[in-house]
Structures are given as C-alpha cells and as structure tokens.
C-alpha cells in the first residue's frame, strides 16, 4: 500500500493504516527529538506526543509531504518539551548510557573505531546542544537527517531564505564550537597545524 492510500485510510479512521505510517516515520521522529532535546526519555515523550497529535489532526493534512508534516509536529512537540526541560534541568542516566541510534554497517568495526565514532558523536551532539533551537533544528534536519532546504522550510514553518540563514549561522557556530574544544575531538578529527 502506498503512502497516499495509508493517509486516506487513516483519515477514515483506519488505525492499522496509521500504525503503518508511524512505523515508517518513528525512527526519523525519535532521532530528531533526541538530537533536539538531548534526553532519551524526553525524546520518547515527544515522539509519542507527535504521533498522537498527528493522529488527532490527520483530517487537517491537506496533501504534500507527509514526512514534512509529521516532522513539523515533532519540532513543535520538541519546542514544548524544551520549555519544560529549561525549567527542570535534569540529565537522564539513560541518555548517558544511550546506545548508538545509527545503523551498524555490514563491515566489522574495530573497537577503537567504534569508540572514536561514539566519542565524536557525543561531541557533535554536545555542539548541537549549544546552538539556538531554530539553528539546531535546521542543522539536524538538513545535515543529519538529509532533508532538502525546501523540506526544512516546510518543517520549520519559515521561508527558504530563513532556512539558509539559520543553516549558515548554525554551521558557523558548530564549527566555532568544535575549534574551541578541539582537544576533545578524537585525534584523527583534529586539524593538523
């Protein structure tokens, strides 16, 4: 069954059809929420809230990209969670012990490469957490999730020019963060001077 058929059936109250849509987008939504919120528990809550809101509002979906629509709901859910997190700054032990959310390659990875990749991932996530929320969203959607600028604009609810500006500023800040904390980068990722 194609996506448009699933959406149409979901609009008619078919919960199984909507569950297929959830299965298709749950990882993307969770990864966005985890990178935006930096906390596994909050990301799970935001993901659940996203799909609950999407199910309740499926009648309002007017066509276009369902992925952009559901990511827009996810971004709004993350924004709401951010306000709560700012009030009660808590770091979950689950987040500290979080397993890698990236798929493993078929090639066997050496323990050293695995450790370096994980260390770099934590460092990049730390850099992302230092970006303003609008820039973080743009960088995650474009550079991590691979959405086009047009899709990022739809998700963020802003113009294409605003997306480009946020990406430029976000990438610049992330680069500056990495250069200021270069000693924390694994040695193979440091600039040779």
Per residue in 6-57, pLDDT (tens digit) is: 999 999 999 999 999 999 999 999 999 999 988 888 899 999 999 999 999 9
* Annotated domain spans of the chain: 1-101, 104-193
Q: How would residue 192 be classed by pLDDT, with cut points 50, 70 and 90?
A: low
Whether residue 91 has pLDDT greater than 60: no
Whose CA is closest to 158, among 81, 70, 167? 167
**If one looks up domain 1-101 in CATH, what number appears?**
1.10.1740.10
> Which is higher by pLDDT, 193 or 20?
20
Burial of 73 (0-12, 13-18, 19+ CB in 10 A): buried
pLDDT at 82: 81
CA 56 → CA 17, 53, 60, distances in Å? Answer: 14, 5, 9
pLDDT at 178: 82
Average pLDDT over residues 89-118: 58
pTM of model > 0.75? no
Average pLDDT over residues 68-86: 86
Backbone φ, ψ for residue 166 (5° rounding): -65, -40
Under 8 Å CB-to-CB from 24, ≥6 apart: which residues? 3
| Domain 104-193, architecture per CATH | Orthogonal Bundle (1.10)
Length of the chain, in residues: 193
pLDDT at 165: 96
């Amino acid at each position: 069954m194609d996506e448009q058929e699933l959406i149409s059936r979901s609009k008619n109250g078919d919960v199984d059809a909507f569950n297929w849509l959830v299965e298709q987008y749950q990882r993307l939504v969770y990864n966005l929420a985890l990178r935006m919120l930096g906390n596994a528990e909050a990301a799970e809550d935001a993901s659940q809230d996203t799909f609950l809101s999407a199910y309740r509002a499926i009648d309002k979906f007017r066509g276009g990209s369902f992925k952009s629509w559901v990511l827009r709901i996810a971004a709004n859910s993350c924004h709401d969670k951010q306000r709560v997190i700012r009030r009660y700054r808590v770091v979950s032990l689950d987040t500290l012990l979080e397993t890698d959310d990236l798929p493993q390659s078929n090639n066997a990875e050496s323990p050293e490469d695995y450790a370096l990749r994980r260390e770099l991932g934590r460092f990049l996530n730390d850099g992302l957490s230092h970006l303003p929320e609008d820039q973080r969203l743009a960088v995650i959607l474009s550079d991590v999730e691979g959405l086009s600028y047009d899709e990022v604009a739809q998700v963020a609810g802003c113009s294409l020019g605003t997306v480009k500006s946020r990406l430029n500023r976000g990438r610049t800040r992330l680069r500056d963060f990495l250069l200021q904390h270069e000693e924390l980068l694994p040695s193979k990722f440091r600039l040779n001077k």
